[in-house]
Amino acid sequence: MNKKIIFTFLLGLIPFFVFTQETPVQKKWGYKGYSGGMFVHTGYVKSGVFKVFDLQGNEIEKQIKGGTFGLGGKMSVFLNKHFKVGVEGYFSSCRYGINNNSCRIGWGGVTFDVIYPVKKWSPFLGITVGGGSSTNLIFIEKHNNNKNATPVVHYKVPLCIINPAVGVEFFASNRISLLFKMDYMLNVYKSNSAYPHGPRFYLGVHFYHKK
């Protein structure tokens, strides 16, 4: 947990170092426009080993491990040439195990991005602070076509997330950009061995309206 806190603190210092190097004209704050768009993403996630119980009370060890896929969107407001703030929300699903179990994470939060535009390219560092939930559906035995007759374990746990990200945008025009980013979402609410960690890779299209 200490490493998570230190990493988040250092990432939060980035805006300070960026803006202390700007001229007085560049430091002017205010509404500079907005952007918004949708993303698809994929990645690889892995949880710790956790235990569930069958109908006879026997312990069964499980582990979430595999590819994850999902959709989401983001909308931001520009407050400075190098800074924007916004909101985003996503869901991400992973199938795992021989019984085709399912883990689905939904999350959202407030985003802060430090950007450095260079011609048509705009690299950025960002962080999202927010919350969500993780839902697990575990089939105790291999299910047939009638899932209602198959014993399952279903549970949902809350998440408090800090999500650092790095990416780059390519502007096809003044109003449209293609965006690629990578993140690694951390659950800081409490220790949960069933929470799957791992990198996710996003590809999206954003639309812009600037003053």
Please provide the CATH number assigned to the domain covering 31-210: 2.40.160.20
Question: pLDDT tens-digit profile of 132-150?
Answer: 999 999 887 655 555 555 6
Spatial CA neighbour of 202 closest among 157, 168, 153? 168
Please check whether residue 63 is in contact with residue 46, taking contact to mean a CB–CB distance below 8 angstroms.
yes
**How far apart, in Å, are the Cα atoms of 25 and each of 14, 17, 28, 55?**
20, 17, 6, 68
Question: pLDDT tens-digit profile of 35-69?
Answer: 999 999 999 999 999 888 777 777 888 899 999 99
Please check whether residue 33 is in contact with residue 190, taking contact to mean a CB–CB distance below 8 angstroms.
no
Question: pLDDT tens-digit profile of 160-175?
Answer: 999 999 999 999 988 9
pTM for the model stands at 0.82
Euclidean distance between CA atoms 61 and 70, whole angstroms: 26
Q: Which of 7-16, 112-121, 189-198 has the highest mean pLDDT?
A: 112-121
Domain range list for the chain:
31-210
